[in-house]
Every structure is written in structure tokens, then in C-alpha cells.
Amino acid sequence: MILLGACAAWSLITAAAHDGRPEGVLLAVLAVAAGHAAGRVSGALLPVAAPCAGAAAGLALAVALPGLSAGPRYAAPLGHAGGTAALLALATGAACCAAWSTSVPGLRLVLRVLAAGIVPAGAVLGSAAGCVASAAVLLCSLAAGSVSRRGRCLLGLAAVAAALVAGTAWALASDLLPDGLAGVIEGRPAGHRAALWQDALRLAGRNPGLGVGPGRLGELGGTAPQTLSADGKPHSALLQLAAEQGLVGVFLVAAVFCWVLHALWRSPRSTPVALTAGAALTALAACATVSNALSFTTVTVGAGLLAGWATAWPWPRTGKEPRH
């Protein structure tokens, strides 16, 4: 809560310094906090039913609202498809957490079938990123059953997966990738987005302290073709934060992600549940790095819910208080 409060406070500070609009950041922080609180309560009372219902709801939302909003669409896996991919990854993680939380073999099989069914749902919805992200979360969850120590695995998720995607986006925006690799990336997921990413990185370099202010990136970008993006955002949470809130904003969000992984390491839930949630949240971080996934309230609430379910203390059923 302290870190989330710091994120909200810093957005207000940078907005006051540059006449920005912090409402989007404040809404995202509120959604995560509310989702986490609801997840902790429901996860303690209903450790199997709550994540199962969440997985079904996430899949239903992805199917019923494939665009997640009425704004402009972009080629997969960016744009609104990035939000769909993140939602499918979170739904897969919730279904797998529910499967690991039950001791009934038949119910566990049904929940794993549900999780496996979400993977092709991404392909049906036209979200290749959603299919890949869901498959990665499912495979990580299945492999988590043979892991005895969760600390190294969670550290690997933070250091390898998230850092690799963030580094690739930053290198592409800085034009540091080799020509062959950059051509492959730009020709598929990020071709028309590279100029926006470069705008964001340029502004971040000019204003490393306070940034240009929340919501002002579209006004100050300038070099990217405006016909490609009606909202003027780079569709990269990392670069948008760096441009609008400076390095402090990036540090605070990274600290929140690291705190979630630390909470999963200390979680009283089983190791497979903690590692599954960590894999799903890492997939979300990867999607957010190359898309606008965090712009959708359904995604931020879902992230908070999953983190709450995976860190909830089981409700004592024998009249004894849980040991801390």
C-alpha cells in the first residue's frame, strides 16, 4: 500500500509541476489496490472458487469485449489486442491457481482443462500474443509442481523475462538493435509504433527527473505520424512512464512489481500457486511493456485480484489462528 500510495503521490507531483492529467494513473492505482484487497479476502474464504470464478470472468470478458474499449484498433499483438492478451494470461493463471488449490483430483482436472482451453481462445480471438502468453503461463504452472524452492524461480521471472522484454523495447526505441533483428521486430509487432517509442525515449532523456507530466506525451511527441495513433501514446508502459513521470516513476512501478514477487515468495500458499501467479503477472508485465495493456481497468483489477488470491492467508477452520 505504501508503494501504491507513492505511485499516486508522484503522479500528482509531476502533474502539478507540468500541468499534467494524473487521472489515468490514479484510476490504475485504485483498481490494483481494490483488486488486491478483494483478492485477499475472497482468497482466504474461497481459495478454489474465487480464482475459478475469476478465470471464467476473464475469459468471458475477453470473448465478449475483444476490443476492451471503443478506441482505435491496432495490429496484433499491440493496441487493444495487448489488453486482450494480458487478460487471457491472467485468466489462465487464475484457473491454474484454482487447480493447485484443490485436493479433489476430478476438480483439479476440470480446472486444468479450463486453463488449457484459454490458450486456443487467444487464437480464435485473433490475439497471437494472448495465445503465446497463456501457453507460457500454463507450461510454467505445470512445471511448478516439481519445484521445491520458489525463490530462485521468482527471481528468474523478474530478472530474465521482464528485463528481457523491457530491454528489447528500450533497445528498439534507441535504435540499438542489429538491422536484421530490428527489421523482424519492426516489420511485425512494432513497425508503426517505433517512432512513438523513439518520441517517448527522447522526451525521457530531456526530462529525466519529473518527466513531461502525466497525459502530456501526445501533446509533446511531434515526430511520429499522428495518423497511426489517435491517442498519441507509445503503447509501452515503461517508455510512457519514463517520458511522463521520469526515472522515479519507472522505479516506483518496478518496485511494485518486485514487491509482488517478494510477497509471492513469502506467501503461505503452496509453491505451485505462488509460481503460477508470478508467471501470469510476469506475462502481464511483458504485455504492458510493448502495448497499452495497463490502460484497461479490467486488466489492472485482474492483476490485483490474482496477486491477492496467491498471497491470501487461508481462513482458519479449526479454531486456531494462522501462524505468522
Render pLDDT for 168-190 as a digit per residue (tens, 0 to 9).
777 766 666 555 444 444 444 44
Helix (H, G, I), strand (E, B) or coil at 103: coil
pLDDT at 321: 46
Q: Per the domain annotation, does 318 fall within a domain? A: no
pLDDT of 220 strictly over 70: no
22 by DSSP, 3-state: which?
coil
φ/ψ region of 79 (left if φ > 0, alpha if ψ in -120 to 50, else beta) reads: left
Residue 289 lies in a domain: yes
What is the band of 137 on the pLDDT scale with cuts at 50, 70, 90?
Answer: very high
Confidence class of residue 230 from pLDDT cuts 50, 70 and 90?
very low
> Is 139 a member of any domain?
yes
Q: How high does pLDDT run on average in the chain?
A: 81
Among all chains, which residue has been given the C-alpha cell 508503426? 192
CA pair distance 319, 167, nearest whole angstrom: 50
pLDDT value of position 58: 92
How sure is the predictor about 127, in pLDDT bands with cuts at 50, 70 and 90? confident
Q: Is the pLDDT assigned to residue 145 strictly greater than 70?
A: yes
* Residue 279 in domain: yes
Looking at residue 174, its amino acid is: S
Q: State residue 148's pLDDT score.
A: 77
- Residue 323 is assigned to a structural domain of this protein: no
In a domain, 90, yes or no: yes
Question: Tens digit of pLDDT for each residue in 33-68?
Answer: 999 999 999 999 999 999 999 999 999 988 887 555
What contacts 280, CB < 8 A, 6 or more positions away?
89, 90, 92, 93, 94, 96, 137, 306
Beta-carbon neighbour count of residue 105 at 10 Å?
8
Residue type, 271: T
The total of structural domains in the chain comes to: 1
pLDDT score of 276 more than 90: yes
For residue 316, being part of any structural domain is answered with no
* H or E element at residue 286: helix 271-289
Length of the chain, please?
Answer: 324
- Identify whether 142 is part of a domain: yes
Q: Taking 80 as the threshold, does the pLDDT of residue 252 lie above it?
A: yes
Name which of 12, 25, 90 is nearest 253 in CA terms. Answer: 25
Q: Identity (one letter) of the amino acid at 193?
A: R
Domain that holds residue 100: 2-311
